[in-house]
Each structure stands twice: as C-alpha cells, then as structure tokens.
Amino acid sequence: LLASSLARLRDVAPRATAVALLRVNGPARLGVAAAAQADAWGVHPAAAAAATDASVLEDVQSSSRAGGGEGKDAETEWETSRSRVSAQAAVLSLLSSVLEDGGAALGAGALTASPLIDLLFELLWRSETRHLALKSLVALITGPCVQTGSSGSRGSRAADDAWDALVRRFLQTLPAAREVAAGRGASDVTKGQGFGPLSDILAGLRAALAGPGGSALRARLASPAGADGSPAYVQVVSLLNAERGVATAEGEAAALECVRTLRSLLSGSETAARAFGRDVGYETFAHALEAAWGAEPVSEALARSVLELAVDADLPTPPDASASGGVPPGAAIRNAGALPVLLTLLRRAALPVRLWGLGALADLLENSVRSRAAADQSDALGFLLDWFAEEATAGARVAASGPSVSGTSAETTETRDPDLVLELLSRCIGRCASHSLSARHFRGAFRIL
C-alpha cells in the first residue's frame, strides 16, 4: 500500500517526490524492503513480471482465485498469496522506476547501498527477474556517466570507488554466465538456463553503451583508473575461450555476441581503441576467435560481424552470402586492427563467404581514402599478397594435375575457384598499392610473378 501510494505521488509530483526520496536515501531503503521481502517470501515470478507490466498481476490473481480450493483456509491462503505478490510487485516496480528515472543524485545514493546491490545481482540470475535487474543495474552504471557528459570525468573519490565496484561486479558476472552456458557451476536458480544469462548480460552492457551517457561510459571503461584497469575488454574476449566452441548453435551465438559487444565497447572512441590495444590487442582477439571456431568453417555471420567491427557500422544482409559488395555509401574502415582479423577469417571461409567478404573489402578500398589508409596502417597489402600467392600456386597445381583429378576433388569443385578469388584479391591489392607501396611489398609482388 505504501509503495503504491508513493508511486502515485511520483506520478503527480515527480520533482518534489524525488527530492524527498533523496533526503531519506529512498533507493537504499527500498532496496532493504525488497531484500527483506525476498528473504521472507522468496521472489514470486508473477511479482517480477507485474513490476514491469501491471496487467500480469490481474491475470495471476484471477487464475489464483479460479484454481484455489474451497473453504475458509483456502480463501485465507489465496488472500495471503495475493497480498504478497501485490506488495512485492509494488516495491520492485517502484524501486526500478526510481533507479531508472530518479536521476544521477538518487542513483549515487543507491551505489553505496549494499543490500540493494546484492538484491539486484541476486535477481539477475533468475530468469523471471533478469530483465528488471538489468534495467536497474544499467541505470546505476550509466547514471554518473550521464551526469559527467562525454568527457568521462571522475567525481568524488567515494562515488568513483562505489561505481568502480559496481562495474567490476557486473563484468565479473560474464565468466560466471559462461560457466552456466557451458552447463558447469549452475546453481538451483541458474540450472537449465543455458545461454540466456550470458546473452542478456552482454545485451545489457551494449544497451548501456548505446544509451545516454554511453560515450562517457566508454571513456571511463577505457581509463586505466576505471574499474581496476579497464577489464571489460579482457572479460569479453575471454568469453571466446569457452570449451564448447561453435560446435553448437549456442556456441556460435556466444562468439557473435562477443564480437558485437566488443564493437559497442570501441565504437567511435579512439581512447577505447588504444585501451583495447593496450589490454588485449587484435592479435590476441584473432587467436581467441580462431580457437573458438576450431575446425569449423567460418560462417558468413562471423565474417559479417568482424567486418561491422572494422567499419563500425551495420551492414545490410545480401540475399545470399555469395553476393559481393553490399557496403552502404559512406562506409569506411575505422578500426584498422580489425582488418587482419577479417582477412584471417576469410582465408578459412567457404568460397561463397570468401567471395562476399573480398567483394565488400574491395568496395570499401575503392570508395574511401580512409579505408585505404587503414589498410596501409594494418599492413593488409602484405597479407593480401601472401594470400594471392597461395591461391595462384593452388590454381597452378590443380591445372597441372589434369581433369581426372580435378573432377574427383570436392575441394576443387566446391571450395576453390581460383579465377574468382584471384580477381577479387587483385582488386584489393591494386587499391592498397595505389595508396602506398613499400619496397618490401614491391619485392613480394615480383616474387609472385
């Protein structure tokens, strides 16, 4: 009743109610109340759902009355259950709205409320309350960043320490979620949830980086002083070390989620790009991707995700993977370090994916000076010359072996078409050389001839 009344007051007089909540440390008190309810009654799935959708509560109450027994005891039991679900839903709903809409000042007070933080992380591991917990945690993480703006400047020492502790704890849920996805270390609460926790936590991190204050959050995560030396990159790339690899659909989905999240962490920030190079590096990232993929052919989805990381933009999906190009106007390679990763993966891909990727790269190099400069920075020309030499040698070997061998070789008929691949490689090499051609690359080109 009190939580519902306070929620109505917020609707009528939001500013005055926010000031009052700030004076009495409202978020911390609400957190203590919600934690006490959870300890005494557990967390009712209906209460969690009703916290974000009030109509759920009405449906649950109707079904509870219809499915209940007869007599005074049954009526009393139903009434008690209804009251508990209603009370828990009201407190969770108010808590979530206060954290999301209360502003940075209310959020700062909540950062130091241990019972509240503990409760949110407990709710994070329950499938029925994860959405609510993620919204609240994202609000707490981004609140100080919205207040400081895109500079990512730091506040008071106590507030910074509390924020760092929260972000560190949030990032530490990633390896735990990976274990749950792999079927190891699952508790009674997380048992059977599979890939769900990991996918939702990574999506929550991307939502925080894409929302208000995302630029400041990205800068603070990249700072050596932020969250104990910016472990976000290490934690995300480490997820690729899961033993399951991509042998399952969930393993492939996990790898793609990691690439997308890394792109969000680096998007539009030279500071973040430097921090990633300092803490992880693209070479380590490439090795982790290759290890995760194992002997499986590189999929079009992975190649596309890495190309989107390189250009820092979404790419349209062609009707089929063999359709080359498809790069939107104005797209350019912005993360030069991702280009060698892309080329390494394309070299291992099936022919349709290889043709699509090389066609897209050729378009980027032809249409943008920035792309050619990025290729020069990452020494893509040297890689392309080596690849061209390999394809030319393989083509010559196939031609020399005669039609009897080539007609029986699945490798020849299905996965190799030297003319198409060599044509696209030539286009890429020509564009890279038009921007810069060193003596080393010049000698490499002559060796191919």
pLDDT digits 0-9 by tens, 350-404 = 899 999 999 999 999 998 899 999 999 988 888 898 888 888 777 666 667 665 4
14 contacts 58 by C-beta, under 8 angstroms: no
| Assigned token pair, 164 | 């760092």
3-state secondary structure of 349: strand
pLDDT beyond 80 at 410:
no
Looking at per-residue pLDDT, the higher value among 212 and 79 belongs to 212
| Assigned token pair, 50 | 């009703």
pLDDT-derived band at 128, boundaries 50, 70, 90: confident
- pLDDT in the model for residue 408: 42
Q: Where are the beta strands (DSSP E) in 118-234?
A: none
- pLDDT in the model for residue 443: 61
Give the model confidence (pLDDT) of 190-233 as tens digits: 777 888 899 999 999 999 999 888 888 898 888 775 545 557 89
Predicted TM-score (pTM) of the model is 0.82
pLDDT beyond 50 at 238:
yes
- By C-alpha distance, which of 58, 124, 57 is closest to 89? 57
273 contacts 266 by C-beta, under 8 angstroms: yes
Looking at per-residue pLDDT, the higher value among 230 and 52 belongs to 52
Provide, rounded to the nearest whole percent, the portion of the chain with pLDDT above 70: 74
Tokens 């009654």 belong to residue: 41
Read off the amino acid at residue 348. Answer: R
pLDDT-derived band at 42, boundaries 50, 70, 90: confident
- pLDDT in the model for residue 264: 94
What φ, ψ does residue 335 adopt, rounded to 5°?
Answer: -105, 90
Distance of CA 121 to the CA centre of its chain: 19
Looking at per-residue pLDDT, the higher value among 273 and 67 belongs to 273
Distance of CA 62 to the CA centre of its chain: 39
Provide, rounded to the nearest whole percent, the portion of the chain with pLDDT above 90: 21
Distance CA(325)–CA(361), nearest Å, equals: 8
Beta-bridge mates of residue 349? 298
Distance CA(273)–CA(333), nearest Å, equals: 13
- pLDDT in the model for residue 447: 63
Looking at per-residue pLDDT, the higher value among 291 and 150 belongs to 291
pLDDT-derived band at 266, boundaries 50, 70, 90: very high
204 contacts 131 by C-beta, under 8 angstroms: no
| Assigned token pair, 139 | 């609000």
- By C-alpha distance, which of 279, 291, 168 is closest to 234? 279
35 contacts 119 by C-beta, under 8 angstroms: yes
Distance CA(369)–CA(335), nearest Å, equals: 14
For the chain, the helix, strand and coil percentages under 3-state DSSP, each to the nearest 5: 75, 0, 25
- pLDDT in the model for residue 32: 80
The average pLDDT across 414-418 equals 53
Averaged pLDDT of the chain = 78
Give the model confidence (pLDDT) of 159-196 as tens digits: 778 888 899 899 999 988 888 887 776 677 777 788 88
246 contacts 252 by C-beta, under 8 angstroms: yes
Distance CA(180)–CA(199), nearest Å, equals: 11
pLDDT-derived band at 325, boundaries 50, 70, 90: low
pLDDT beyond 80 at 312:
yes
Distance set, CA 45 to CA 88, 89, 117, 137 (Å): 10, 10, 20, 19
Work out the angle at residue 241's Cα, subtended by the Cα atoms of residues 239 and 247, and round it to the nearest 5 degrees.
100
Distance of CA 8 to the CA centre of its chain: 36
DSSP 8-state symbol, 284: H
Give the model confidence (pLDDT) of 244-255 as tens digits: 555 566 678 888
Task: Name which of 53-62, 308-317, 339-348, 429-438 the model is least confident about.
Answer: 53-62
- pLDDT in the model for residue 321: 47
The alpha carbon dihedral of 30, 31, 32, 33 has a sign of: positive
The average pLDDT across 39-62 equals 65
Distance CA(26)–CA(17), nearest Å, equals: 10
Tokens 């980027």 belong to residue: 364
Distance CA(357)–CA(351), nearest Å, equals: 10
- pLDDT in the model for residue 37: 79
